[in-house]
Structure 1
């Protein structure tokens, strides 16, 4: 079972790991695409980046140092609503091992990475124009690296950038059946935390729904995939 997550614009600074070595990352079939993306980022840095605000200056510095700066596990590098709700750092060891084994994050710079993969801070999104490259051309075939049953919690933009055949999308809605925005991300993070804490091993959407029913998690089947009801958006709870 694989859980596909989007990256986040915000990232934790620093790290205690050695500098980026793409050979240490999961999914070695992405090595060529990663090399092209990093070379394009080098060209972007050489051409000069916008440093007009403190945030943009930090982003530019991160990009300039992406090959030499310290790393940390991807699940700790990404921050923001989804990752705050998942709160990987507070998981029990067994739940954290589940995350490391099952969670895959899609990076616009490095393609798919495992939760435990050591990555640096960087500022590249699906909208970034990398000189000499197109995001879709870089990652359109990356989905071939994902095998087995996968649930897709990525945004539509990232799912379109690197389609994964057979991945089951998860829709997040309010108790009234309305689509959510901010709380969409919180609901996703809370769902992954619930899966990790339960140590779920499902090989199909139906098996996952059966677990959800037994755990009182409001996850159901739809014609398109799965639907999760976020019961109380103020607390991003899925139970």
Structure 2
């Protein structure tokens, strides 16, 4: 089973790893697309980026240093609601190992990344205009590197950017059946944490639902994929 996660706009600073080497990243089939994306980012930096606010100036500096700055595992680099709920740093070693084997984060700059892939801070999203490249052309075929049963927790934007054939999407809803917006990220993070803690092995959506039923996790099949019910505002799995 592969669990597909979206990236986040916010990222942890720093790191202790050596600078980025694309040869060390998972999914080597994406090497050409990654090289094109990084070359386009180099052009963006050379042309000059918007530094009109402190935040934009920091983002510009991060992009300028993307090839030389320190790295850290992707699952630690990304922050925000989903990754805070997942809280990979607090997992037991065997649960963390499960993340490294099963979780994949989709980056607009580097494509699909294993949780353990070491990456720098960068500021590139699916909306970034990279000189000489189009995001959809860069990543439209990237989904072919994902094999086997894939649980898709990505946003619609990222799922559209790099479609993965057969990936099973998960809808996050409140106990009264209403779709959640911002808070659905916390539900996704909590689900992945539960999967990691249990070191779930599942080769299909039905197998995953069977595990959920035995573990009191409110995950069920729908015509479109799967549905997870979470409490709002407590943002924990409904019991």
How does the TM-score come out when normalised to structure 2? 0.99
2:237 maps to what in 1? 238
Is the 8 Å Cα contact of residues 85 and 236 (structure 1) preserved in structure 2? no
4+ residue stretches of structure 1 with deviation over 4 A? none
RMSD: 0.6
Structure 1 stretches lacking a partner, 5+ long: none
Structure 2 stretches lacking a partner, 5+ long: none
Query: Following the alignment from structure 1 to structure 2, what is the Cα–Cα distance between the partners of residues 128 and 140?
Result: 16
Query: Following the alignment from structure 1 to structure 2, what is the Cα–Cα distance between the partners of residues 235 and 100?
Result: 28
Q: Give the paired residue count.
A: 238
Is the 8 Å Cα contact of residues 126 and 135 (structure 1) preserved in structure 2? yes
1:227 maps to what in 2? 227
SS at match of 2:171: strand
1:207 maps to what in 2? 207
SS at match of 1:113: strand
Query: Following the alignment from structure 1 to structure 2, what is the Cα–Cα distance between the partners of residues 155 and 89?
Result: 23
Alignment deviations for residues 123-163 of structure 1 (CA, whole Å, 9 cap, x no partner): 00000000000000000000000000010000000000000
2:12 maps to what in 1? 12
Shift of residue 234, structure 1, vs aligned partner: 2.4
Query: Following the alignment from structure 1 to structure 2, what is the Cα–Cα distance between the partners of residues 52 and 86?
Result: 34
2:195 maps to what in 1? 195
Query: Following the alignment from structure 1 to structure 2, what is the Cα–Cα distance between the partners of residues 217 and 200?
Result: 13
SS at match of 2:116: coil
Shift of residue 235, structure 1, vs aligned partner: 2.6
Shift of residue 182, structure 1, vs aligned partner: 1.4
Is the 8 Å Cα contact of residues 43 and 131 (structure 1) preserved in structure 2? yes
How does the TM-score come out when normalised to structure 1? 0.99
Query: Following the alignment from structure 1 to structure 2, what is the Cα–Cα distance between the partners of residues 211 and 173?
Result: 19
Is the 8 Å Cα contact of residues 20 and 67 (structure 1) preserved in structure 2? yes
